[in-house]
Structure 1
Amino acid sequence: MNRSNRIDVALLCLTGFLRSFATGLMGVIFGVYLFRLGRGSAEIGILTAAGLAGATIATGWITWRGDQFGRRKALIVLALLWVAGGAGLAFVSSFIGLLLVVFAGMVNAMGTDRSASYVIEQAALPNLVSDRDRTWTFSWYHLVLDAGGALGALAAALPIILYRWRAVPIPTAYAAVFLGYSVLGLASAIAYSFVSKQIETAPTRQETPTVSSASKKHVFGLARLFAIDSFGGGFLTDAVVAYWFFRRFGISEVQLGALFFVIHILNALSHLGAAWLAEKIGLLKTMVFTHLPSSVFLIAVPLAPNFTIAAALLLAREALVEMDVPTRQSYVAAVVNPHERTFAVGVTNLSRSAFWAIASAISGVLMQNLTFSAPLIAGGSIKIGYDVLLYRKFRHIRPPEEV
């Protein structure tokens, strides 16, 4: 990797860290802030969905037109919309106003980065490294993102700290935090302006890049399977799992915060283990052989007699479950041509986002009407089915570095 490419990779990791920090922060405080404004559960749900809808539409546009518009320009525009979203939250309080702000600003209250910027970065990173270094690059990238998310979650205490230690009124404290959120977006826009043109696709005379039939077959096949995985994952959001522990064992928010901080750290470290294992057994086997046992640990959590054992099982699951993230993205990038990567990443991420949202809406209904542990059991079982199907369908399709 030459010096220019190393700088580009570092800049994309930096912007990913800033975005994940902001996402981790917003995932914790968004609902609480709206509750303090007097918004009910239905309104909070609608506003959360509006942010996800904005991000999904942006991802769709990036998938089909992002490369023609220019990846670097698109990243800067998306970062500036992030700035506008934070500023809007600081000064707007009416429901309609908030609806427009979170939609246009693509405010992500899910706690996990599902942005259009994330799609572009996934497509750009393989352009900057060799096939042999691709998986390690994705692993370090996601380690940085998870670290940002963990620190962002801790930063959610800032409004209360400002209130208790500086006697700042709660609304003013939240406004200050939202403006800080905007500053992170501005810093990202500035960082993106220094990224080289190497992240762009090769110029083509066609208005829309051609995607080969073989690549389409791989991409749509993976997208269908990833939709199954995300449907299972939608039952297992941080909010649902935290609520389950809170109700089942009566633990405090402080204990939950500590538990989820450790979860993020394990997720981050597991990415490096994934890259090492992929070098030994291959990308697809790493994806399946780590993901499947993690779901077994998850299904066992509701059977635990106390918090200590349940937490240990959950942590065992989290040490494995995200090892498929960098390997999955490296695999998607490997089975298509370089100019098809934005299309491949966009389509697979769109399928994941849509089904994640659908299952999230269903999980509460299952908890209330079937059994309280239903989301954990259903999510784990669906994910096991996904692993089996993925291995059966794609075990003979190998990336270039494994041939």
Structure 2
Amino acid sequence: MHLLKSLRQSNRDIRILWTSVFLRMAGYGLTNQVLTLYLESLGISEPNIGIFMTLTLIGDTVISYFLTWYADQIGRRRVMMLGTLMMYGSGMVFAFSSHFVVLLLAAIFGVISPSGDETGPFKSVEEASIAHLTPENHRPEIYAFYGLFATAGAALGSLLCGLLVDYMNLQLDYDLERCYRIIFLVYAFFAFLKFSLMLFLTPKCEIYFDAEREEELTEEAALLGETIPELETAPEDYFGLSERTRHLLPRLLAIFMLDSLGYGFMPSAWVVYYLKKTFLTTATGLGILFFITNSVDSISALPSAYLSKALGPVKAILFTQAPSGAFFLVIAFFNNFKLVAFFLILYYTTSTMDVVPRQVLLTSIMPREEITKVMGIVNIGKTFARCIGPIFTGKLAAGNNLRFGFVINGGCVLLADLILATNFLHIDAEIRQKESRDQDIT
């Protein structure tokens, strides 16, 4: 692994994308702390909050589908700028409106994350752009820094939110609803900064097709002793996907969706709600806790690149995700805040260590010209799977049974790992062989 070499070689576009994800996740970290509590302060019931989150995710799925599917035709930079404007608009609506339907429409057609995690078209397009800008031997490190900046942003947003809410509420004597509205204004400001940043991306982020690239892929195929389906110039498929993609993607997608199905039952916003209601945790206490969890989450992105290269991406996913699911599941059985906080920290230490291996897995085995569509399908599928849980989570919360969300979440993760292990371990050898080729970032 060569983190410093990859960092030095990273070009302007890669660094802009790192800063972009930092600002975006800082915004999500802000709103994740207050979204559920803000809706409750407006008199919205817990079951309706669950419905709100489900409909938000459904809307996000539909919009993300169109923007990511046609991103290469529209232009990746344009899609990222459009998504940022949507993010800004939703923040402004949440800051000034109290009407359930208006807020729901803003959440559906704008960009509000009900989970504190990635939402909207950003992630798919950014991941595809990074794959486009980075050779295989540098991708684990470049994606690791991408994950590092993402979770560092979320950590900063969580801490900033907790401190701001308690300062405005306790020192300035603002009521909580007003505090939450101001948080959404800060979210909109982050979106404005992000939009300004997108203006400096270069055309190198866009996909291109030329004879030189085709020759490069042909040489790679000869070196590996295999055929590469992406060289098929006209795949006979309605979706325009090659045979290799049609063979691998559905099976991988089912596994990733099962994992996300469990996550939808207990996203971060409901974890915040559970801690607030069960242990009466203060806003500052929640902010500090999630700053710690996101900080360890951030640091864990770097060793995940090492694990991906040392073990192969599939083994790395299994090595990190299975303990993560177990840590989250056992939280349901503790009534002591310190123990819950301890296992939450363990969970966040390992929960996203599978992200870099998954990015490496998908961008390494799928045709280069289809990566935007592939990443879009995966992220949309994962978002769609998350739509199911919040309806039931709202009912669990209303019946004082929210702790069972931890059990469902952890159980789905462990089952997904079992299926992945029995179907895809053999792919690691192919990917590690590709990564053995020493190339520089241009």
**TM-score over 0.5 for the pair:** yes
Q: Distance in 2 between matches of 1:134 and 1:166?
A: 47
1:78 corresponds to 2:109: no
1:354 corresponds to 2:384: yes
Q: Which moved more, 1:90-99 or 1:133-142?
A: 90-99
C-alpha displacement of 1:268: 0.9
C-alpha displacement of 1:170: 6.1
**Residue equivalent to 2:229:** none
Is residue 245–residue 251 contact of structure 1 (8 Å, CA) maintained in 2?
yes
Q: Distance in 1 between matches of 2:115 and 2:59?
A: 13
**Number of matched residues?**
403
Query: SS at the partner of 2:298?
Result: helix
**Residue equivalent to 1:110:** 115
The change in CA–CA distance for 1:385 and 1:89 in structure 2 (over 3 A counts) is closer
Superposition map of 1:1-400 within 5 A: 6-157=11-162, 158-166=164-172, 174-203=180-209, 210-245=240-275, 254-304=284-334, 306-365=336-395, 373-398=403-428, 399-400=430-431
Q: For each residue in 1:311-353, what CA deviation from the matched residue of structure 2 results, as whole angstroms up to 9, or x when unmatched?
A: 3333223222221011111211111111111111111111111
Is residue 5–residue 198 contact of structure 1 (8 Å, CA) maintained in 2?
no
C-alpha displacement of 1:371: 6.1
Q: Distance in 2 between matches of 1:368 and 1:220?
A: 36
Q: Distance in 1 between matches of 2:265 and 2:208?
A: 40
Query: SS at the partner of 2:11?
Result: helix
Q: Distance in 1 between matches of 2:399 and 2:96?
A: 39
The change in CA–CA distance for 1:364 and 1:178 in structure 2 (over 3 A counts) is closer
Is residue 28–residue 109 contact of structure 1 (8 Å, CA) maintained in 2?
no
C-alpha displacement of 1:233: 1.8
Is residue 54–residue 390 contact of structure 2 (8 Å, CA) maintained in 1?
no
Q: Distance in 2 between matches of 1:347 and 1:149?
A: 24
Query: SS at the partner of 2:70?
Result: helix
Aligned residue type for 1:194: F
Q: Which moved more, 1:379-388 or 1:26-35?
A: 26-35
Aligned residue type for 1:65: Y
Q: Which moved more, 1:187-196 or 1:301-310?
A: 301-310
Query: SS at the partner of 1:202?
Result: coil
Query: SS at the partner of 2:366?
Result: coil
Q: Distance in 1 between matches of 2:133 and 2:278?
A: 47
The change in CA–CA distance for 1:246 and 1:32 in structure 2 (over 3 A counts) is closer
Q: Distance in 2 between matches of 1:171 and 1:363?
A: 23
The change in CA–CA distance for 1:361 and 1:169 in structure 2 (over 3 A counts) is closer
Q: For each residue in 1:141-196, what CA deviation from the matched residue of structure 2 results, as whole angstroms up to 9, or x when unmatched?
A: 11111111111122224255245445667666555443332222122112111111
The change in CA–CA distance for 1:178 and 1:136 in structure 2 (over 3 A counts) is same
Q: For each residue in 1:82-114, what CA deviation from the matched residue of structure 2 results, as whole angstroms up to 9, or x when unmatched?
A: 222222223333333333322222222321122
Q: Distance in 2 between matches of 1:193 and 1:372?
A: 43
The change in CA–CA distance for 1:390 and 1:63 in structure 2 (over 3 A counts) is same
**Residue equivalent to 2:437:** none
CA RMSD of aligned residues (A): 3.0
C-alpha displacement of 1:250: 6.2
Is residue 302–residue 376 contact of structure 1 (8 Å, CA) maintained in 2?
yes
Q: Distance in 1 between matches of 2:255 and 2:333?
A: 28
Aligned residue type for 1:195: L
Q: Which moved more, 1:104-113 or 1:152-161?
A: 152-161
Q: For each residue in 1:48-83, what CA deviation from the matched residue of structure 2 results, as whole angstroms up to 9, or x when unmatched?
A: 444333321221112321111111111111111222
1:402 corresponds to 2:407: no
The change in CA–CA distance for 1:402 and 1:71 in structure 2 (over 3 A counts) is same
C-alpha displacement of 1:225: 0.7
Is residue 24–residue 190 contact of structure 2 (8 Å, CA) maintained in 1?
yes
Is residue 307–residue 316 contact of structure 2 (8 Å, CA) maintained in 1?
yes
Q: Distance in 2 between matches of 1:367 and 1:34?
A: 14
Is residue 50–residue 392 contact of structure 2 (8 Å, CA) maintained in 1?
no
Q: Which moved more, 1:281-290 or 1:302-311?
A: 302-311
Query: SS at the partner of 1:345?
Result: helix
The change in CA–CA distance for 1:49 and 1:299 in structure 2 (over 3 A counts) is closer
